[in-house]
Amino acid sequence: MTYHDPRLARLGGAETRVVPQSVSGRFRRLKWAILALALAVTYGLPMIRWDRGPGRPGQAILFDLEGARVHLFALEIRPQEFYYLTGALVLATLVLILTNALAGRVWCGFFCPQTIWTDLFLLVERRIEGDRRERLRKLDAPLTVRRVGEIVLKHAIWLVVAALTGGAGILYFSDAPTLVVDLVRGTASPVAYGVLLSLTATTYGLAGFAREKMCTFMCPWPRLQGAIWDAEALTVNYRDHRGEPRMSVKKAAAARAADRPAGDCVDCNACVAVCPMGIDIRLGPSIACINCGLCVDACDGTMGKLGRERGLIDFETWTNVERGRRGEARRPARVVRPKTVALTLAILALTGGMVAALTTRAELTLAVMHDRDPVAVALSDGRIRNGFELRIANATGAPTTVEIAVAGAAAATIAPAADPRAEAPSLSVRLGVDETRRLRVGVFGRRDLAGELHFTVTTVDGAHAAAVDRFALP
């Protein structure tokens, strides 16, 4: 099996603009349903409210740049916890690889924002300029007043859709209802308008003009596809053992009457015409194929009209295509195999680890580091002083005062390193929101204090953290 160059699949064998034809069928209906759901989620999620108490953001999903927090319903990610973002990215990568092992680039064909918004732009284009044949005819036709009007209207609607997309993007970074009003009134911040224009331009350019170039040349996933391609995955394939040799209905009937081989493919090129990537899947697997299934709908439509069995082009494993070439019976796709089991276990383990870490995380943390030089100092009054650096992190979501205490086998006192005379059984420190304070302290005690030393920090609201070190002797 080898991948073919998608550029060789253009109609006429030349590098031409891809103008896909509309098609109806089960996969096209599924794509419309996913598109509607994606749009509803994109524009609806920022408007969902979530009560976090007085003075807290009331938006369910909010990337609060000003407050340096990410709010996901009841979950709150703090600045010092952005390693969860790394975990989420690794988890998404594993899910994508598992999806690829099961159904190839099905994410690209059904769920990728580039595909969804390209479908939306194509819908606008078809409504205004007509279907494929009419649009191809208009590409080289001289400009008329009507044609100029169609072009202007199409691009105007594209810009509106792109602006709405950009607007939805920035709603996740500020209180959505308030931001919408500010944007309309012209009182939003310059940053908001700048991001809005940037996202608008990106959507307009990629969905309106880049399209298949984005999915073939700009996105890294097609290149990775060659490395992680799985012959057991259900991908869009052409059953060439059934379709070849290609010939018209009349020629096929004559060939079969003369006991000569004849395939089911009538070379109507419907599969190529509907492909948003402009490839010919009959040439073999392609790195440009996004597994959208539109060629399956087109071929099934042709086979249905001819009264032939559907599935000449279908979601099929490459191993079954090779079995068909050898005249062997088709086998059900193996969903459960070592690769998919290992990926599933990795996903479950990572998900479980992240959930456990999130549910057991502390609102207050304390780390203690003992001074190394000197480890201990003998004072003139016979007592011993040990120096420590305390690192206290406040993740309670509000300013707070913490009480620092220390205890050991015998009585101990504590004082800031900068003011040893302020020796006391405990220290009070004021911490701001998400503040991490490094505090150098001295701990004083008699020689019988040697051994484990327990540090505790407690807030007025009862949040508690502890750490253990040792009290050393000179």
- pLDDT tens, residue by residue, 61-103: 999 888 778 899 988 887 778 889 899 999 999 999 999 999 9
pLDDT at position 1: 46
* Alpha helical stretches, state H, 238-284: 240-243, 249-257, 270-274
pLDDT at position 153: 97
- Taking the C-alpha atoms of residue 325 and residue 312, their distance in angstroms, rounded to an integer, is 13
CA-closest candidate to residue 202, choices 187, 218, 188: 218
- Taking the C-alpha atoms of residue 464 and residue 366, their distance in angstroms, rounded to an integer, is 9
pLDDT at position 409: 67
CA-closest candidate to residue 340, choices 91, 99, 3, 34: 99
- DSSP-assigned beta bridge partners for residue 394: 364
Regions of the chain where pLDDT drops below 70: 1-16, 409
Domain-by-domain residue ranges, the chain?
A: 1-16+212-330, 19-48+112-210, 364-471
The helix (H) or strand (E) run that includes residue 110 is: helix 106-110
pLDDT at position 16: 64
pLDDT at position 4: 47
Residue with tokens 């150098």: 440
pLDDT at position 183: 92
Angle, CA 127 vertex, CA 123 and CA 129 arms, to 5°: 110
Domain 364-471 sits in CATH at 2.60.40.10
* Alpha helical stretches, state H, 174-293: 176-185, 190-205, 212-213, 221-228, 240-243, 249-257, 270-274
**Two tokens at 55?**
């003075």
Average pLDDT of the chain is 90
HSE-up of residue 111 (Cα within 13 Å, Cβ side)? 8
Q: Phi and psi for 6 in degrees, rounded to 5?
A: -65, -20
Burial class for 208, CB neighbours closer than 10 Å (0-12, 13-18, 19+): buried
